[in-house]
Structure 1
C-alpha cells in the first residue's frame, strides 16, 4: 500500500501543545500508513504554498483574515482531503474572549465549510461545535491529543506515610487562560503547614503572578518545567485551574504519572477525571479549600492508581482513531 502523504499546516512551530500533539505522526504505529511533514504558513496572506499531499491538516485557529487563505487552499487542492484540527476554540473561550458572538460563529461556519472533516480534541468541545456552529456529525470527529513524555509510567503513586504538607502542583504557560492567578489567590486562605503550591512555567503573567504570591511562603515558583516527570514526582496532586481548555495535556500527563487531579469545570477538562479527582470551582473563594478537604478523605495512592489505569491503552486508542480517519477515503 502506498503511504498517504500528509502535510500539517501550522502558523507557529514553536514548542507547545500543538507541536507536541504532532509527535504521534512519528509513532511506528502510523509508519505503514502515512508519510508526514510540517509546513509553516502565514494564513493572513492568501498565498498558498506548493504541496505534495493527499491529506492536508490545518492546525491554526480560523479567523476572518485567514478565510482567503483557506479558500485558496481548497481551490488549489480540490482532490486533496482537507481536515481541520480545532486546538483552540471552545465554549468557555467564546464566553471569555468573544464580544460579538454572532459574527464569530459566522466566521467559523464559513471556515469549516471549506473542510472535508473537522477534528475536535475533546467531547466537550465537540458538543459546543455541534451546537454553536452546526457542523454535521458525519464531518466531526473527536481525537484527543497524545502525550509521550518519558518516564511518567515509572513514577510511584504518592507516599501517604510520609507526613509533610500536601504538595499541589500546577504547570504551563503563565497566561490568563491557565488561571494560575486564581490558584495563588486560593492559597492565600490555606494553612502553610498543611499545603504547598509548586508552580512551574513562564510567560507574560510571570511578574504579576510572583507579585500576587508575595508574602505566601507556601507558594513556590520552580521555573520552566523541562523535566515533567521530575516535577510530577514532587507533587501529590495536580491542579488545572484553566479558564478555558479544549483538552488539557497536563491532566493526561498527571494521570500517566499516577497523580490525582483537581480541574476546573470547563470544556474538555472534566472528562479526564474519571475516578481520579474532583471538579473545582476555582472562581469561588472556598472552592479549592473545599475540594482539598474532600480529597483528604480519600487515598491519594488509590486515586493515583485509578488515574494511571484510566490511561491504559491510550496510545493505541489515539493511533486507531487517526488510522480510521485518515484511511476512510483511501
Structure 2
C-alpha cells in the first residue's frame, strides 16, 4: 500500500440522527479538515441533523436504511477512494471495520468495546485511562483530547438572554447542565439532588433532549425552580448565563460540555467519572462521587452559598486549556492517520518481501 499524496480523501462515519457530543466532534473535525484542503466526506443516516451542520466543503452521504450498513459503507468508501475511514460512536466503528483498502480509524467517544473496535487499524483515545486499558494486541492508539467546537456564529448573532427568558431576578443564581437526556448523563441525579438541597430561590436549567425526557418531567413534578429547556443551538450564550455548571454523569469519557463551560469561565461541579477526573485535575473545579444524588445536591447547595456573595466578575473562573487546543488536536489527528497509513504500508511491504522470498525458494 503506497502512502497517498496530500491532500487526503477522508471519510467520516456517524449514524446518529440528532447532534450530541460525539456528533459535534465529528462535524467540527470534518469541517476543520476540509478547511485545510483535504477531500472530506461524511456518511450518516438520511435526514440526519448532521448534514446541515457541515461546512460547504464537506459532502454528506445519507443512508436511507440501516440494513447492511457495513457493506454499504465499505462500498461507498471504495467508490470515494478513501485513504482514511473514521468512525464515531460504536455502530459507526462497527461499520467501518468492513472497509478495505483504507486506514480504519475509530474514536472512543464512550469507551472500548471489542465488537465495535477490535477490527480497526487505529484508535483515537480521548483520555489516558482509555489507552492504558486497551487489550494487548489492539490497534495502534493515540491519546488526542477533544476540544470545544467552534462557536455557532448564527446563534451568537441572535443575542439570546437566558436569564431574562427564565424571568430571573439579579439575586437569583442559575445552575445549569447540558447533555443528552439519557441515564448515562445522570440528569435524574441532578434533579433529585437539586430538589432536596438547593435553596428556594435557586433555578436549575437543563439543556438537551433524549429518551428520558418524560421520566425527568415526572421527577420535576411541578417544581417551578427546575426548567427542562430541550435542545438549544445557543449553548455558548446559555453557558454565559449560568452561575454554576454541573455535569452529573454516571459515565463520561470526555464531556465537551465541560470544555465549553471552562471556555465560558463558569464554575464547574462534576461527578468523578473517567474524563472529568483527568480534565479537571489541578483545575479550580469540584468533583463529587458518581451516582450519589445526595452528595451532588449538597455540593450544589454549598457552591451556591459560596458564589452568592460574589459579583458576576468574581464568579468567572480561569482554567488551563492549552491541552485542548483545536488546531493542535486536528493536526495530531492527521498525523495519527499518517502513522496508521505508514504502518499499513510497512506491513504490506513486509508481506510482499516474504512472498518473493518464498517464490525464490
Q: Unaligned regions of 5+ residues in structure 1, if any? A: 91-104, 156-161
SS in 2 for 1:14: coil
Q: Choose which of 54, 58, 62 in structure 1 pairs with 2:83.
A: 54
In the alignment, what sits opposite 1:95? Answer: none
In the alignment, what sits opposite 1:14? Answer: 18
Q: Could you tell me how far 1:58 is from its partner in structure 2?
A: 1.8
Q: Could you tell me how far 1:238 is from its partner in structure 2?
A: 0.7
In the alignment, what sits opposite 1:228? Answer: 235
Q: Contact between 1:3 and 1:33, CA under 8 Å: does it hold in 2? A: yes
In the alignment, what sits opposite 2:274? Answer: 267
Q: Choose which of 219, 222, 225 in structure 1 pairs with 2:226.
A: 219
Q: Distance in 2 between matches of 1:43 and 1:314?
A: 38
**TM-score (normalizing by structure 2):** 0.70
SS in 1 for 2:318: helix
In the alignment, what sits opposite 2:245? Answer: 238
Q: Does 1:199 align with 2:228?
A: no
Query: How many residues are treated as equivalent by the alignment?
Result: 294
In the alignment, what sits opposite 1:119? Answer: 124
In the alignment, what sits opposite 2:321? Answer: 310
Q: Distance in 2 between matches of 1:183 and 1:32?
A: 41
Q: CA RMSD in A?
A: 3.3
Q: Does 1:324 align with 2:335?
A: yes
Deviations 1:239-264 (A, max 9, x none): 01011112111101111111111111
**TM-score (normalizing by structure 1):** 0.76
Q: Could you tell me how far 1:323 is from its partner in structure 2?
A: 3.1
SS in 2 for 1:226: coil
Q: Unaligned regions of 5+ residues in structure 2, if any? A: 45-62, 161-168, 343-361
Q: Could you tell me how far 1:310 is from its partner in structure 2?
A: 2.6
Q: Could you tell me how far 1:229 is from its partner in structure 2?
A: 2.2
Q: Does 1:87 align with 2:109?
A: yes
Q: Distance in 1 between matches of 2:301 and 2:332?
A: 36
Rg comparison, structure with higher value? 2
**Residues 164 and 38 from structure 1, CA distance in 2 versus in 1: closer, same or farther, beyond 3 angstroms?**
same
Q: Contact between 1:192 and 1:218, CA under 8 Å: does it hold in 2? A: no
**Residues 305 and 113 from structure 1, CA distance in 2 versus in 1: closer, same or farther, beyond 3 angstroms?**
same
Q: Contact between 2:103 and 2:121, CA under 8 Å: does it hold in 1? A: yes
